[in-house]
Each structure stands twice: as C-alpha cells, then as structure tokens.
Structure 1
Amino acid sequence: MSFFKDLNVGYKAGDKTCYSGRITALKNQYWHQEILVADIEDLENNKSTNIGIIGYVCDTGVQRNQGRIGAQKGPKNVRHKLGKLPIHFKNKKITDFGDVICVDENLEDCQKALSKTIHKLITNGVLPIAIGGGHDIAYANFNGIKEALKNVSKNKIGIINFDAHFDLRAVETQPNSGTPFHQILSEHTHVNYFAIGIQQQANTKELFEIAAEKKVSYVSSLDCEAFDETLKSKLQNFIENVDVLYITIDLDGFSSAYAPGVSAPSTLGFTPNFVYKALDFLFQSKQVISCDIAELNPDFDIDHRTAGLAAKLVDYIVQKA
C-alpha cells in the first residue's frame, strides 16, 4: 500500500462486517446501521466525516514490557460491542478506517504507520479515535498530532492520561508499553503531561522521581473517588496552559470490577462514571484534537465486560466531540 510505503506493517481497510447488531426497520437506531467504512487512502473522498476510528493491532510493546499479551485482539472486540450500541448523537459522520497491524514484532514501524494515519486524519479535519493495542499507542498518536501541528503557531500539546501507571520508564534496550511518555517528554519540550488515577503500588519510587523531574502533573487513584471541584480546578489550570488536548485512556486504570480484561488489572482503579464526568469537562474546552483507548486484552475479559466499557467510551467521546 503506497500510504505506508517503506514501512514493515500490515493494513486492513474498514470493514462493515466488523459491526453487527439488532435488525430493525427503523433507521439511525444503532451504530452498525450508521458506521461508514473506508480505506485511509480514500480519506479525501470522505469530506463529510467528522470522526475517524483506527485500530492499532499490536501488543509487541506489552510483550516487551513483560505483560500479558493479547491486546492485539482489542480493536476487533471493541467494534463487535460498538455495533450493538444505540445512537444518541446527531449530525456526526463516523468512518472506520480499519487497522494498522504489527508485522514481525516491528513495533516501531507500526507506531510510524499509526502516526501517519493520525496526522492525515487531523489535517483533514477529522477527530481520530484510535483503539489499541498496547499503551505504546500513545507515542504513535502523539507523534501524529505533533506532525499535524508543525506549521501551526498554537501547537503546545497537553496530554491527559487516565491510567494507573505513569508509563515513564526510560528506554533501556527497546521502547515498550511502559515507555511512551518518557520518550515524548525526552524528545519534546513543548508538551505538558497530566496523569489521572496513578496508583502508588503500580509505580516504583524511581517513576515518581522521574515524574517530579519532568514536572508531570498527576492525581492518585485515591483522589478519583469523585470528579470534584479540586480536580476541576487543576485540570482547568492545565487546559489554560496548552493549545490542544490529547486524551489517552488506559483501561487498566479502571477498577477490575469494570475492566478485568487488561494486561495489569487492579481492584483499586477509578469508575466509568468518574471518567465520563472528566471527559465531559475536558470536551467542554473545545481543545481535544485526538483520543485513544488502550490495553484491552480480550483473552482475560469476563463476559466481554472490558470490551463493552471500551465501546461505551468511544460512544461517549463521539457524543461529546
């Protein structure tokens, strides 16, 4: 495929058969009835598209990070659950542009392919929602945003990461799902990072020291019982000091009661209701430029609970965008 020329990566265009649901004579009732599908090379022919879904079929970063592999199956399972959801949004056209697929454990080329896709979506006025895959998706998504803003004067990116982990490990041999934000902050100075849901037991003392050194803002999972005025104030201050927002959601930040199907489940995470309220607040800023949802591992899911949560998060983002 010419769009991914010189990259060792697979690609599969959007496929309507990935979406299914209740059959009804009424139109505009369910996602499977409304979702459009296309090849990323045909983006220019989809002028009416507002939001683009792209899958990141890769768990090599998780494997390198010694996690439980299986996240490469995440995009398929999210689509399966998403197709069944009822529609409650208007005047929005959502197109699924398929999957970039990791080949030969070549994480770096898969990240470059996703970056190219994110860049193309943004420069064509489309809000990307990427579905992983490991949280190394964040490095790829960020680089796509950065490239899209390179000729724009207001280009300071603020990263909001809903996560139990900082993912600030330095790269020792190869990048992995635990290194994306260290890579970003080491390579770029014009970026702010705010992590929401950090768990002390999920991060070493060194990671807290790196966070302090790199001036990372964060709130612990203990402060995520409710989306209160204190957190709103912190986020508002963060928003006012950046030009655009990139939102990344690692499903392992949720309590395992809601998200058992992840590489590193935890009983101490936040609730979907908390994240919904936070997303509502963030989208009110009108500064969100890209989103992704990472770390769904269907091999460890229970009754498709985590896939269903991821699908509902996609749906909620679409409603708020």
Structure 2
Amino acid sequence: HACVMRRVLEMGLPTLPVGIRAICREEAELIAKQQIPVIWDRDIARDPDWIEKAIAKITTEKVFLTIDVDGIDPALIPGVGTPEPGGLSWHQTLGFLRRLFQTHQVIGCDVMELAPISDSVVSEFTTAKLIYKLIGYQFIA
C-alpha cells in the first residue's frame, strides 16, 4: 500500500491521506518536503468539523478512492496487514465517505489490506458491509 501511494506521488497526482496514525521517518520527511496535506487521526478525534475540512482539501472533481482498512479502528476490523491502535470509527468512516460521494465524482475505488483471521469472519463481514455502503453512496449521491 505505501509503495503504491509513493508511485502515485511520483506521478504528480494529488493525494489526501485520511486517518493516519503512524508513519516512519521516511514518510514524515516526504510529507514535509512535498507539503502533502494529511488528515491525522488525532485531529479527527478532536475536531467535529474534520469532514468538511478534509473535503475542502480535495483539489480535483474526479477522485479515485483507496481505502486501506487498517485505517479503521481494529476493534471493528482486526484482520488487517498493519494493526495500529486508534483509527476511524464506523460512523466517522461512513460520514466521510458519504460526504465525498456527495461532493465529488468517485471514478473508482479499491479496498486494501484485509488479512482474514482464521475462525473469525468479523473483518470480512465489516469490510463487505463497507463496500456495500460505497456502492449505495455511488447511486444515491
């Protein structure tokens, strides 16, 4: 996931990472050097207006949406590639996505980093439900 987004940045395409809660030194340096706007998890938790502020940072009408499910609270989706404490709640996630579909033309979407846990389907179920919501937002936006 990180390597792909690095290539996107190298191609000069705008990005807006949302819900970021952990980065390595190299990523921090890249964010600072390229002045990449980031919506940090800690800021989301403190700012009730974060969705509108995030949407305002999206500079294109058409967007391709990449959802890295390890950006969501691991209490909701524990089966991920890189679990990290914190993360977007279900309602924060849906609120942002609903608003994104209302304000922009989402031309495509992928959902990444699901890593199923044996003897549990909660991660797969929640991720499938998220995709179901995305499809609905596409048609009602």
* TM tier relative to shorter chain: 0.7 to 0.9
- Scaled by the length of structure 2, the TM-score of the pair is 0.87
- Is the aligned partner of 1:319 residue 2:136? yes
Deviation at 1:226, TM superposition (A): 7.2
Q: Which moved more, 1:308-317 or 1:227-236?
A: 227-236
Answer whether contact 1:246 1:288 (CA < 8 A) is retained: yes
In structure 2, stretches of 5+ residues that fail to align are none
Distance 1:224 1:274 in 2: 9
Distance 1:226 1:270 in 2: 12
- Is the aligned partner of 1:247 residue 2:84? no
The Cα offsets for residues 144-186 of structure 1, whole Å up to 9 and x where unpaired, read as xxxxxxxxxxxxxxxxxxxxxxx2xxxxxxxxxxx11111211
Q: SS at the partner of 2:133?
A: helix
Q: SS at the partner of 2:99?
A: helix
Distance 1:212 1:301 in 2: 39
Residues 225, 194 of structure 1: alpha-carbon distance in 2 compared, 3 angstrom cutoff? same
Distance 2:61 2:111 in 1: 22
Answer whether contact 1:245 1:290 (CA < 8 A) is retained: yes
1:194 is matched with 16
1:210 is matched with 30
RMSD: 1.9
Answer whether contact 2:77 2:122 (CA < 8 A) is retained: yes
The Cα offsets for residues 65-124 of structure 1, whole Å up to 9 and x where unpaired, read as xxxxxxxxxxxxxxxxxxxxxxxxxxxxxxxxxxxxxxxxxxxxxxxxxxxxxxxxxxxx
Answer whether contact 1:251 1:296 (CA < 8 A) is retained: yes
- Is the aligned partner of 1:310 residue 2:113? no
Distance 1:313 1:278 in 2: 12
Q: How does 1:1-321 map to 2 (within 5 A)?
A: 135=1, 167=2, 179-186=3-10, 188-189=11-12, 191-199=13-21, 202-225=22-45, 228-236=48-56, 238-239=57-58, 241-298=59-116, 300=117, 303-321=120-138
The Cα offsets for residues 247-285 of structure 1, whole Å up to 9 and x where unpaired, read as 111111112111111121122111111100000100002
The answer to which structure has the higher helix fraction is 2
Counterpart code for 1:234: A
Counterpart code for 1:232: E
In structure 1, stretches of 5+ residues that fail to align are 1-134, 136-166, 168-178
- Aligned length in residues: 138
Q: SS at the partner of 1:303?
A: coil
Q: SS at the partner of 2:108?
A: strand
Counterpart code for 2:29: E
The Cα offsets for residues 180-230 of structure 1, whole Å up to 9 and x where unpaired, read as 1111211x22x211101111xx31222111012222111211123377324
Answer whether contact 2:79 2:114 (CA < 8 A) is retained: yes
Counterpart code for 1:258: L
